Chain A
Amino acid sequence: MIICDNVNKSYPMGSGRKHVLRGLDMVVTKGQRIGFLGRNGAGKTTLIKLIGGVELPTSGKITRKMSVSWPLGFGGGFQGSLTGYDNARFIARIYGHRYDELKDFVADFSELGSQLKMPVKTYSSGMRARLAFALSLAIEFDCYLVDEVIMVGDHTFFEKCRYELFEKRHDRSMIFASHSADLVRQFCNGAAVIHDGNATMYDDVEEALDRYYNL
């Protein structure tokens, strides 16, 4: 379970502050796959970062009672000057996994081959996505935080992720920030519309999409 209790987040803007989230309350239970819907800049990515513990809320509290992945998006999580293998080794070390097992899984899942011996900064966004998914699936989490922008892999890879994340691990939770009605319909069993610094939860995806289109 993940509990957001009266979460506020603001950033300095000029002489004042920009309030992105205002008193947001939310609960995500095990097995829930929530699609985050919202206009650009509504705070989807900010909320995902807060839930992932990358940034801290200005006030309020976030409690995690299950293991939560790091936010899977383009930025973050990797060191660009290190090779794919070195990044994998680092992640294996900090999560207390055996590198040899992780290495095999990553090489197999990402299909990046000898590219893994090159610095991550030379990777295309699709290749980064492959590496990020491979690593997070190798570690295994109860809840995955996924930003839609990472769904940039080609068709084969997309199918592979769909199978690994949504079929094999169908009992896991997921938070999925998206603009695509199709993907949310396909993958989520609930949705939250993020607007005006707050989130409204819907058990019915269609209802949420309706609300989102009428923002």
Chain B
Amino acid sequence: MSRLAAGWGIQRRVISALMLRELVTRFGRENIGFLWIMAEPLLFALLVGVLWRFMKGPEEHGVSVIAFVATGYIPLTLFRQTLQRAVRVFSVNGSLLYHRQVQVLDFIFVRFFVELIGAMMAYLFIAVLLITVGEFPVPANLGIFLVGWFYYAWFVLAMALCLAPLSEESDILEKLIPITTYITIPFSGTFTMMSWLTPPAQAVLYYSPFVHAMEMMRDGIFGSRVDAEYSFAVPTTACMVLTLFGLILCRRVRRHLVVE
């Protein structure tokens, strides 16, 4: 038990050191520094939201278009960025494995946390901004919103846990990621609610953990203005299975990892 506690202490130290290092290497100390981490999701959500606002009018299905796009796009950038940055994360950071307390899993956690913090800050920023101009509802149920966010983030992390080791073994994978994340968009619940879709489409999307997480988040934000449909069993099962699979892959790859 005390060994476990000591190990936990070391990993916490390592992860926080790696995070600070990641922030400094990626964003430097100049101008707004690490605040850049929220720039990308923020700009994406705002600009695409404004674009849609002019294309589709102020409201669709009874909710503000800008608010709906923002609630969809910020998790989506978390998903895309995290996967993109999980590629070859072990060999890129290989020189840090010279220090025995640094584990390969730390690399994935760190890059994921950096993206997660950026996305959450962007979400908060955009919500406050849009609420003040009356384009965003005051959240109906923060609890279910956070549960949905948790599931979405967990599934993204689980995917990164699988992708990072696989990308070390196959070069082709890296080239397939942009197109795969693009194709995934219709299955991510970003632009639609389940209740807007036809029954055959619903039957397919029911198996996407992203959709359940997104419905929970939108239920939390828009409340009774949308008909959210979700279960906890689907995302929980999917996340657990994928996480386990990812951990096994990471462990296997660590054994063969060649460090320069």
> A91 and B259 in contact (CB under 8 A), knowing A79-B25, A81-B25, A96-B13?
no
A94 B101 Cβ-Cβ under 8 A: yes
Give the bracket for the number of chain B residues in contact with chain A.
20 to 34
B21 A77 Cβ-Cβ under 8 A: no
- 4 closest Cβ contacts across the A-B interface? A93-B17, A76-B98, A77-B98, A53-B100
A–B Cβ pairs within 8 angstroms, 11 of them: A11-B258, A52-B98, A54-B100, A55-B259, A75-B260, A76-B95, A76-B260, A79-B25, A86-B24, A90-B21, A93-B17
A54 B24 Cβ-Cβ under 8 A: no
A contacts, CB < 8 Å to B: 11, 49, 52-56, 58, 68, 70-71, 75-79, 81-82, 86, 90-91, 93-96
In the complex, which residue of chain A has the Cβ closest to the Cβ of B25? Answer: A81
Which residues does chain B contribute within 8 Å of A79, judged by CB atoms?
21, 25, 95-96
Q: Chain A's interface: helix, strand, loop or mixed, by majority? A: loop
- B243-260: contact bitstring with A at CB < 8 Å (1 yes, 0 no)? 000000000001101111
Q: Which residue of A55, A76, A82 contacts B21 across the interface (Cβ within 8 Å)?
A: A82
Q: Chain B's interface: helix, strand, loop or mixed, by majority? A: helix
Query: Chain A nearest CB: distance from B256 CB in Å?
Result: 8
Q: A76-B98, A93-B20 are in contact. List 14 more A-B contacts (CB 8 A).
A: A52-B100, A54-B97, A56-B257, A58-B255, A70-B100, A75-B95, A76-B95, A79-B95, A79-B96, A81-B25, A82-B21, A91-B99, A93-B16, A94-B17
A77 B95 Cβ-Cβ under 8 A: yes
B102 within 8 A of A: yes
Q: Which residue of B10, B17, B95 contacts A78 across the interface (Cβ within 8 Å)?
A: B95
